[in-house]
Amino acid sequence: MRNNKHKVLVTGAGGFIGSHLVEGLVESGHQVRAMVHYNCQNSWGWLDTLPKHLMDNVEIIAGDIRDPFLVRRAVSGCDTVYHLAALIAIPYSYIAPMTYVETNMQGTLNVLQACRDENTSKLVHTSTSEVYGTAQYVPIDEKHPLVGQSPYSASKIGADKLAESYFLSFGTPVATIRPFNTFGPRQSARAVIPTLITQALSGAEEIALGSLSPVRDFNYVKDTVRGFMMVAASAETVGRVTNIGRGEGISIAALAELILELCGSSATIKVDLDRIRPEASEVFELICGNAEARRILGWEPHFSVRQGLEATITWLRDHMQHYKVDRYNV
């Protein structure tokens, strides 16, 4: 284990963004402890796909973010904690809302209390642009009202407010990062970009999607990870929320056309009613106001959407075995 930088914990390390963050932290010389969700297959999620030379520098703790005793043990001895563990699929939150409250709110409370008890130097808590709901103005800055348009977003609002309360009540050094729609290699097929790409690469003549009109601000995962590390390194982010996103919107319809072009596919798009959110729950426009990230951190995106999509398509061509293209991933 390299010792030239301090020790960090990443919760949710086996997931999409978490695995990229672990990779970036190790490459930057940090000692990394990675908390992954326990399962009987002893799978570490996407960390299982990382090179051995990289994983040799990672300490794994398998468990459940809902267990306060295990969380306390995971946090112990770490200078910085990146808290990413969460349930994130919006459609599944309609089916199992209590699980979202237990994981996203109770889990966050466990991390906050452990960081308070262990006198952790910095906690980076992960929010989501979904907490803003449909834009009341654009671009959406950190002062935009929070609207719980799904059980998922409501649970994340609750978690964000717990983080805020620990800073205000106890002085816990927590910074909240609010990424807009991150995409890239290793993303679950529950997200629109891998759903589009995997169907196109499979040779499908029709590609099933939900609503085509929503506008999203897509940010390549390497830019998001750089945002996490910059938020952690800055003293100015403590006690505040920082948006991370490109500041540009694209409709799902336009995104689909671009992906089909890049994949060389002539498929047509079919709207699948099972994939459409309840009308009042759909978030129709999310465009990031990133002025604070630029001012405080000097952060700006390095990858265009097209560059990110090209890299993602290249990766997915070699990893199609991980995706069940014929099934709707709720």
Name the more confident of 208 and 290: 290
- Would you tell me the crossing angle of helices 252-263 and 305-317 to the nearest 10 degrees? 50
Does domain 7-182+220-244 fall into CATH 1.10.3720.10? no
Distance, CA of 197 to CA of 7 (rounded, Å): 37
> So what's the pLDDT on residue 53?
95
Strand blocks (E) in 46-163: 58-63, 80-83, 122-126
Distance, CA of 314 to CA of 184 (rounded, Å): 10
**pLDDT above 50 for 2:** no
> So what's the pLDDT on residue 47?
98
Provide the whole-model pTM: 0.95
Q: 184-216+248-286+303-322: which CATH number, 3.40.50.1820, 1.20.272.10, 3.40.50.2000, 3.90.25.10?
A: 3.90.25.10
**pLDDT above 80 for 3:** no
Distance, CA of 107 to CA of 239 (rounded, Å): 19
Domain with CATH 3.40.50.720 in the chain: 7-182+220-244
pLDDT band at 179 (very low <50, low <70, confident <90, very high): very high
Distance, CA of 271 to CA of 237 (rounded, Å): 41
| Amino acid at residue number 272 | D
Domain with CATH 3.90.25.10 in the chain: 184-216+248-286+303-322
CA dihedral sign, ordered 15, 100, 160, 88 = positive
> So what's the pLDDT on residue 208?
86
CA distances from 146 to 51, 126, 136, 161 (A): 40, 15, 10, 10
Nearest to 43 by CA among 75, 15, 66: 15
The neighbouring-strand residues paired with 181 are: 218
Written as six digits, the tokens of 292 are 């604070």
| Amino acid at residue number 165 | S
The neighbouring-strand residues paired with 32 are: 8, 58
> So what's the pLDDT on residue 5?
59
The neighbouring-strand residues paired with 80 are: 8, 122
Distance, CA of 308 to CA of 191 (rounded, Å): 15
**Strand pairing class (268-271; 31-37):** unpaired
Nearest to 96 by CA among 151, 149, 148: 151
Written as six digits, the tokens of 21 are 């963050």
DSSP state of 297: I
- pLDDT (tens digit per residue) in 259-278: 999 999 999 998 888 888 88
Nearest to 150 by CA among 271, 252, 243, 283: 283
**pLDDT above 50 for 212:** yes
* Phi (first) and psi of residue 37, to 5 degrees: -75, 125
- Among 116-120, 296-300, 322-326, the range scoring the smallest mean pLDDT is 322-326
